[in-house]
Amino acid sequence: MTTIKSKKPVYKRWWFILLVVLIIVPAAIGAALDDGKKNVASVSTVSTNTSNSVDEGDKKDMTKDINVELSVNENVAAGKVSLTGITNLPDGTGLMITVSNENGFRAQSSAVVISNEFMTEEFSNNGQALESGAYNVDVTMPIASVQPDAVKKIIGENSENLKGDLVKEGDLGKTVNYSKSIIVEGASKVDHSAMIKEYKNKIIGSYKTIKDTYGSHSKSLDAVEWAKFAREFKENVSNLRNEIEESKLNQSDKIVLSPACADLEMLLTAYAASLQGRGDDTEIKRLKTQIEEAIK
């Protein structure tokens, strides 16, 4: 009787097991490497997002709102005033400071904020003591467009980061405005109205004199007498002009009265040319109009 040996199933043979091992193990290793790469990429992405978040936070800190604060102290010495101030506006901010009174005095000084402080030049009346009395002090921060770039980065391109009662909306943009009143013990108070009237009367007298003298000489010219009159008239008007310039009148009043004296001197020259037959009636009319405007 012939004996038949049974064959082992394929999956139990040694070469099949070896083949399976060679296929499965590398695949498992590859899958593990792929997972590792994915995890590394994920960590990198989180790191980048964190960096962006920090940058955005820094930008917010740089552009935070500023509730504007500002104060001014005055120093009065010998009737002259200097001002110092404290503010939380950023370094480099440009300010304009104005001192004025009800009699027409007005002077300005520019200042720059440094370490939260600013100071002005000395305010005086052409180097002399200010007139005693009350004065207004106005501090203004102009619109952002005229401020340095470093300042605009903090306050905003249109000063949108500035807040508080001192911030005002204007036609050209936001400004900062601060005001206070101060008392100056300076020179004795001047009666400006009386002084202006006095100088106007002197100009009126000189104007009448030159017109009358020109009228008489235009009918019958006496060259010697005219020359004598011209010398005296020019000297008197020049002295009057110097007196006005050195007076305690406010600059705004001097700007009106002093040029009238210059016009009187030019009218003298124009009349002299007319008496010599080479006058300019248009120029004479222009000068007379300007003088009459100043003394009305």
**What is the reported pLDDT for 283?**
94
Using DSSP bridges, classify how beta strands 162-163 and 133-141 pair: parallel, antiparallel or unpaired: unpaired
Mean pLDDT for 267-292 is: 93
Q: Are residues 121 and 146 in the same domain?
A: yes
Same domain, 152 and 208: no
Residue 163 lies in a domain: yes
- Under DSSP, is residue 42 helix (H, G, I), strand (E, B) or coil? helix
Any domain includes 11? no
Cβ contact 101:131 at 8 Å: yes
Q: For the chain, what is the mean pLDDT?
A: 83
Q: CA nearest 201: which of 268, 295, 279?
A: 295
Indicate whether 225 pLDDT > 50.
yes
Paired with 195 in beta bridges are none
Domain shared by 162 and 201, yes or no:
no
Contact 260/203 with Cβ under 8 angstroms? yes
Q: Are 91 and 179 members of one domain?
A: yes
- Is 109 in the same domain as 215? no
CA distance 277 to 71: 66
Give alpha helix (H) positions in 7-75: 14-62
Comparing 27 with 165, the larger pLDDT belongs to: 165
Does 28 score more than 80 pLDDT? Answer: no
Confidence bin at 23 (pLDDT 50/70/90)? low
- List the domain range (segments joined by +) for residue 230: 192-295
Is 285 among the domain residues? Answer: yes
Worst-scoring range by mean pLDDT, 47-56, 74-83, 193-202, 284-293? 47-56
Where a domain ends, among 161, 184, 207? Answer: 184
Domain stop point among 127, 154, 184: 184
Tell me whether residue 6 is in a domain. Answer: no
Average pLDDT of span 248-252:
81
- Please write the tens of the pLDDT for every residue from 79-108: 999 999 999 999 999 999 999 998 888 999
Q: Which two tokens stand for residue 40?
A: 């590394």
Burial of 113 (0-12, 13-18, 19+ CB in 10 A): buried
Is residue 199 domain-shared with residue 167, that is, in the same domain?
no
Both 128 and 160 in a single domain? yes
pLDDT value of residue 60: 47
The reply to whether 175 falls in a domain is: yes
pTM for this entry: 0.54
Residues above pLDDT 70, as percent of the chain: 79
**Total tally of structural domains belonging to the chain:** 2
CATH classification of the domain holding 179: 2.60.40.1940
List CB contacts of 17: < 8 A, sequence separation 6 or more.
11
Contact 195/248 with Cβ under 8 angstroms?
Answer: yes
Q: Which residue has the higher pLDDT, 86 or 186?
A: 86
Q: Which residue has the tokens 């952002």?
A: 144
Would you say residue 41 lies in a domain? no
pLDDT given at position 17: 58
